[in-house]
Chain A
Amino acid sequence: MNENEAKEMLYDYAKNRLTPEQAKAVESALASSESLAKELARIRAYYAALDGMEPVRASNDFLDKVHKRIESRTGARGLAGLLFFPLRVKLPLELLGVGVAALVVLLVFVPRMHRASDADRFQYALSETPSAASGTLLPEQQASPAPPSLASTRKAGLPSRADKYPRKMEYATKAKRASQPRQGSFDGVASATAVAEAEAEKPAGAVGAPAVASGKSGRLAFADESRMEKKAGESAKIARETEEPSRVNVDAAEAPSRRISAEYVYAFAQNAPASPAEAGKDASESVRMRAGKKMKAESAPLSAAQEAAPPAAGTAEGPARDEFLKSLAAKFHGTIQIADSASYRMYTIRVQSAFLASLFDELRTHGDLRLSQGNPPLPSSGTATVLLGTVRR
């Protein structure tokens, strides 16, 4: 056994943990090495110091404390113990968890909610039409009243939004009344007095500008293309289930609206009718618009022909769409107005009323115009503004 090996075994030798043979070997190494003997003396002093340390004994009530701990952490109190104890460990972790959850909500859900409410604003804006309660109907519409809207049917027996948000609803109703046109009139200028009144009474939580939609405004079922497609699918499903015409009918009285003064509304759609015949068929169950009158918005699932058809020029995306609309404006000596919000772009075109019929024909041909049954009566003089649609930016 060399000196290093012996040195490693000295601790066990000092505590008599070696076998007799190992002890004998260590002793012979010790006899031949003075440094090993000194090391052994140090180790013995080390053990003596360890032995000299005060023994540590449990306190007299140790068992009681253990009992208390067991009782406090088992059963009903044990659940609290499991959740919160040891406090100094779990409380910071739980606070951290709450903080992270709050952060997630702030970063993920709030922006989504914001986007959703933004989309809703546009939808309401485009739905700006005198409601059934306050609107006036054309003779043919009075003769064949629209079936009750699915939305209102669904809401039967449930508290209305007006019950929940009386201030907002009052504001919306006033704004709507201000926008009521004279029957049969096509001048879409809202009453400035009523607008001012609506503005003044706008509640703090009201979204968007006051509803100053002219009496000529129409109804568009969907605020943007993606929502349009989605809602069309949902509505068709509901229609199939309930065997009644599917309608997506956003009640304009339910929310304050943005300022719109378009006499006609033209909807962008992803899929245009493949043929005029298809368009005519589609028109009966598509978005229907009439200026200043009670409007009904309906949608239907896209036909196979529609789905197969390539997007028409008017439904092209981005720059192509803008180009198409600009050419349209140039052709009819009108002006295209593009209004941007944070998330959406809204297109309107202002043309001489004399060109309206031609404009609609053009839109039917190259776009996806969905007007109400038949052709609405068009004004013969003055200018008209057509809300072409709103798309997500």
Chain B
Amino acid sequence: MNRHEAAQPSPQPASDDEDVRLVALAQGGDRIAFDRLVVKYRDRIVSLCVRTLGDFSGGEDAAQETFFKAYTNVHRFTGDAAFSTWLYRIAVNTCTNQGTSWWSRTWRAALHLDKEIKDEEGGARPRELGDTSMLPSKELERKTAAAALKTAIQKLPLIHRQLVILRDMEGKSYEEIRVITGISEGTVKSRLARARAALRKDLQGADE
């Protein structure tokens, strides 16, 4: 038996009761029920999309597109997986399409908010850190580390980035990630290991 299998929490039930009820209503054309689903999952989907694509406007646009696709295809949802997993899958595919498009790559190359900037003493710091002069040292250290990590994550290839976000930030199980990304569990694990190694290498380089 794979040693990780025992470690995995059992796959999420098909969907929790509230989701099942709301989805059934939405499938019957109830817009209010769908709105409730949007409100319930909007922050998680926006977070996933923004972190995957690396900028807020593009990420939120992808999240809106995700909910639009969910609305138009809700009748196809069969309940084999949780509604949230189905929604994540749409979001990941939407972000993959947007993230790999020529337009997106050009836009991000032209306006990458996470690019490091040089400070007055010649050091590099992430652009988004903002004014840190009033922060306590511990808080400053944490913020700096988070910003560096964010920058390192953005440097990863798209699929590696998505795996890190889903596993380490969203806490999804390998089974859920397999369903969301459509990649086999073994591939998920090996790619995740490579992504973490790349992050560690990048962060160690930044420390030095």
Contact = CB atoms under 8 A, between A and B. Distances in A.
Interface of A: 5, 8-9, 11-12, 15, 17-19, 22, 42, 45-50, 52-59, 62-63, 65-66, 69-70, 73-74, 88-89
Interface of B: 3-4, 6-9, 35, 38-39, 42-43, 45-47, 50-51, 56, 59-60, 63-65, 67-68, 71-72, 101, 103, 142-143, 145-146, 148-150, 168-169, 171, 193, 196, 199-200, 203
A49 B142 contact: yes
Contacts of B71: 66, 70
Given A53-B146, A57-B43, A69 B7 contact: no
A52 B139 CA distance: 9
Nearest to A42: B200
Contacts of B149: 46, 49-50, 53
Contact of A58 (B42, B150, B196, B203): B42
B146 A52 contact: yes
Given A53-B169, A58-B46, A66-B38, 13 more contacts: A11-B168, A12-B7, A18-B7, A22-B6, A48-B142, A49-B146, A53-B150, A54-B146, A56-B47, A56-B50, A57-B46, A62-B64, A69-B65
15 contacts: A5-B3, A12-B7, A22-B7, A45-B145, A48-B142, A50-B168, A50-B169, A52-B142, A56-B43, A56-B47, A58-B46, A63-B42, A69-B65, A73-B68, A88-B103
Contact of A9 (B7, B45, B171): B7
A277 B193 CA distance: 95
Closest 10 CB pairs of A and B: A52-B146, A56-B47, A58-B46, A49-B145, A58-B42, A52-B142, A49-B149, A53-B146, A56-B50, A88-B103
Contact of B46 (A56, A88, A89): A56
Contacts of B8: 17
Contact of B4 (A12, A53, A62): A12
A22 B199 CA distance: 26
Contacts of B68: 66, 69-70, 73
Nearest to B192: A11
A48 B43 contact: no
Determine chain A's interface SS by DSSP, over half rule. Answer: helix
A58 B60 contact: yes
B3 A65 contact: no
A69 B69 CA distance: 10
Contacts of B9: 17
Contact of A50 (B56, B72, B146): B146
Contacts of B46: 56-58, 62
B182 to A, nearest CB: 21
B50 A47 contact: no
Given A56-B43, A56-B56, A65 B64 contact: yes
A70 B149 CA distance: 36
A70 B31 CA distance: 11
A70 B169 CA distance: 30
B101 A11 contact: no
B47 A52 contact: no
Contacts of B56: 56
Nearest to A66: B67
Contacts of B103: 88-89
Contacts of B35: 63
A46 B146 CA distance: 9
B42 A62 contact: yes
Contacts of B72: 70, 73-74
A55 B60 contact: no
A74 B64 CA distance: 15
B168 A52 contact: no
A93 to B, nearest CB: 12
Contact of A63 (B7, B38, B169, B203): B38
A61 to B, nearest CB: 10
A67 to B, nearest CB: 8
Contacts of A8: 193
B142 A58 contact: no
Contacts of A89: 101, 103
Contacts of A56: 43, 46-47, 50-51, 56, 59
Nearest to B50: A56
A15 B6 contact: no
A18 B4 CA distance: 8
A228 to B, nearest CB: 56
Nearest to A19: B6
A55 B171 CA distance: 15
A60 to B, nearest CB: 11
Contacts of A58: 42-43, 45-46, 60, 63
A47 B72 CA distance: 37
B168 A62 contact: no
Contacts of B63: 58, 62
Contacts of B45: 58
Contacts of A45: 145
Nearest to B104: A88
A211 B168 CA distance: 86
B3 A22 contact: yes
Contacts of A46: 149, 168, 196, 199-200, 203
